[in-house]
Chain A
């Protein structure tokens, strides 16, 4: 016997096909809906709309504070991949937090720069055992830059430098540091 009576003529409100019927008639078995997953969902990193590949950024904190730098890519962790270029201002391929950065409205065309191979895993620190580090003492360890990093820097900067040199005065701009002078009102300055 059909679950619903055949109705001849127009009787009552039209029912949506496929939906659980309201009123007297409903399916005999419960329709199973999956339980809500408690796993944390990973979404695409959300970064200020002013930070796009090619934007010139002013670093506000850290070792390179005050330097003007080119943003290359937003990494999965939400950090921004940045390069000086190294020849211009000494900033290597580096990750930078968007919270400690001023995004200027100056953009460089970085479509010819290939940064697809760089991810957060590339920048992960090499694991050294706790004991070694504990016994080593507090003397600052000399920074050892791997040949892989140097090679990647050269590759990226070759394309990036071409794009930077095509804009007049941009190279000198990136080489200069940013600072506040007398009479500057940062809340009124347009970057």
Chain B
């Protein structure tokens, strides 16, 4: 099994747990086998040591040197256009859809139900046409 995403300086990570859950950050430095130093000035994550169990590695990296200053980090993020690339990834889209579904109120859920029925009736009609 080959690994594709490595824990390295510059790897963009998604924080899974804790007060910053759901935010992106970058690995600035590696402390030891269990924890690393992350920072996310563009997303509001304070510079902190965090165990690997609380973060998820993404496909994105930024070109920074070890222990880069927040200013150079922000510059590297805008250069690599991390936020836009992240938002266009299917991972981020799935997270957003999950969040939207959880925030629907009863009326919204009714509208979704009606829309799904309309969609399936259009598909069923087309299938009937094709089958005939």
Contacts and interface: CB of A to CB of B under 8 A. Distances in A.
Nearest to A191: B106
A61 interface: no
Contacts of A176: 110
A188 B101 CA distance: 11
Contact of B111 (A58, A68, A169, A190): A169
The 8 closest A-B pairs by CB, nearest first: A106-B107, A104-B106, A173-B110, A105-B105, A191-B106, A190-B105, A173-B107, A169-B111
Q: Is the interface of A mostly helix, strand, loop or mixed?
A: mixed
Contacts of A56: 106-107
A118 interface: no
Interface string B46-62: 00000000000000000
A26 interface: no
Interface of B: 102-107, 110-111, 114
A178 interface: yes
B105 A191 contact: yes
B107 A190 contact: no
Given A169-B114, A172-B114, A104 B102 contact: no
B81 to A, nearest CB: 34
Contact of B103 (A58, A178, A190): A190
Given A104-B105, A104-B107, A169-B110, 8 more contacts: A56-B107, A68-B106, A105-B106, A170-B107, A172-B114, A190-B104, A190-B106, A191-B106
